[in-house]
Chain A
Amino acid sequence: MSATTASAAPAGRTGGLAALLVLADGRLPAGGHAHSGGAEAAVKAGRITDGRTLEEFCRGRLHTAGLAAAALAAAAAAGLDPLALDDAADARTPAPALRATARRLGRQLMRAARATWPSDALDALAAARPRGAHQPVVLGLTARSAGLGPLDAAYAAVYESVSGPASAAVRLLSLDPFDATAVLARLAPAMDAVAERAADAARRAGVEGPDALPACSAPLLDITAELHASWPVRLFAS
């Protein structure tokens, strides 16, 4: 994003970069803070114990679920049919607990988005999926309503895919918040690369259809999401 100026906005963007900051802000009231992105289950299983293991967890999540979500968001921001993307998201989310989470978060983001950047496209998706569309699809359509482009939407999804687990790890492990932020900073070049790949994939999907979107997956995220959903007591919803 460093090369972006007002006179040379990236393809597809009609609004300003500030809208992206509002959309990607963790304080956007869309419910994301209640979810750990699989970090709570990984901490319990001893797979995240410190900054190093948090970084490996986040790196894996970024290149799997993060890339898949970012590509869906970029495709929605590019104007592809959100209902076809919602079906593509279902096929890429084999764990029922994660489908339920994605739809719950999609519904919550939809409420925030319609209040913040109202548009006919958001109203139409809300009407077609009253119980919530997959969150990355809603995120992409929200970006579009905010005048942002596909790469911007991909950035928002990519950042969210690692910032959630990193901030959850601070609470779950009493990890030093500076260490958690340093993890995110070290992942920044990888986030740039994944956002670019997601935007490229969305361009291809515009020609070839949603099957061209990446379907990268992480077995432990899927398996442990199901197990986590059945815990009687947990700090995070997912």
Chain B
Amino acid sequence: MTTALAPAGHGLLAAARVVAAADGRGGTALPVLDGGGPFALRRLRSAGHEARVCLVGAMSAPLGGDALALSADVGDGAALHFSTTAATIALPGRTGAPATYDVRIRVGDGAVLRWLPEPLISARGGELRMTTVVELAPTARLVFREEQILGRAGEPPGRLTARLTVRRDGRSLYDQELSYGPGVPGWDGGAVLGGHRAAGQLLVVDPAFAARPPEARALGPTAVVAPLAGPAVVVSAVARDGLELRTLLENGRSGVDFGIQHDTDIAVQQ
């Protein structure tokens, strides 16, 4: 765990780490569950084979200038479900410097990760660069949700750049960078968001798709299920708000997720 106040002019430096490992008895152990500063990680009641971890927002972050890092390592044969208790809100800092949030995820052979955090809200005046890299072993399975809400209710958004790179067996499977907000050319025009204030993607990677690829399908005028050039499918949507976005992503997920129970409000045991 590292939490520190960086030199003057910078914000908070904080890191959190989760390691999940098969416990040899058909379950998943969490040998490392480590977080500081704004990160408080809680273990929830397991659901069968799957260990469940929830990130509890312990303070307001990221603020401009903060550098946050989160890593998750799901060992061979382990199963991890990751959620958060509340939305992450990117707020302005005192210096005008951007915040960074780096997420690094590794999923081993035969392992399963469900990464289902609450949305990221880009608040007025905030500036955040988020970078997520997921490394999957050839037989790993993944459900990964990312939702971005542009501004709190009725406010203009801050500036947000989020890149999501998913590599499978060392090769890029999915690589997308989204940029919205003040100073980003054309972000609210008809090619990018066209006036929508919520955007999201839900990615499902399953080696079984190699034999049975899911079909592309429309979920409405602003959402589709799209098979990738590999054993994976992405549900992409834009919407007026977070609620409508979640509904679209869950509709898309219902046809392509590889079983296990539906993810909804699981009480946090603190």
Contact = CB atoms under 8 A, between A and B. Distances in A.
Interface residues of A, number: 44
A217 B177 contact: yes
A10 interface: no
Contacts of B177: 214-217
Given A94-B176, A95-B224, A215-B176, A220 B229 contact: no
A190 B185 CA distance: 9
Interface in B163-206: 163, 165, 171-179, 184-194, 196, 199
Given A60-B185, A219-B178, A227-B221, A94 B192 contact: no
Contact of B226 (A53, A96, A215, A220): A96
Interface in B208-247: 216, 218, 221-224, 226-230, 234, 236-238
A192 to B, nearest CB: 13
A91 B203 CA distance: 13
A82 to B, nearest CB: 15
Contact of B192 (A64, A88, A96): A64
Interface in A50-107: 53, 55-65, 87-88, 90-97, 99
B175 to A, nearest CB: 4
Interface string A208-223: 0011001111111111
B186 A87 contact: no
A165 to B, nearest CB: 8
A60 B190 contact: yes
Contacts of B189: 47, 53, 55-60
Which among B165, B171, B234 has the greatest number of chain A C-beta atoms within 10 A? B171
Nearest to B225: A226
Given A87-B172, A92-B175, A226-B226, A215 B163 contact: yes
A211 to B, nearest CB: 6
B175 A88 contact: yes
Nearest to A93: B229
A132 interface: no
The 8 closest A-B pairs by CB, nearest first: A60-B186, A47-B190, A56-B189, A59-B186, A60-B191, A91-B172, A90-B229, A60-B192
12 contacts: A56-B186, A60-B185, A90-B228, A90-B229, A91-B228, A96-B216, A219-B192, A219-B199, A219-B238, A222-B224, A223-B224, A226-B226
Given A92-B176, A220-B191, 20 more contacts: A42-B194, A45-B190, A45-B194, A47-B189, A57-B191, A60-B188, A60-B189, A62-B186, A91-B172, A91-B228, A94-B236, A215-B165, A215-B175, A218-B191, A219-B238, A220-B194, A220-B196, A223-B222, A223-B237, A223-B238
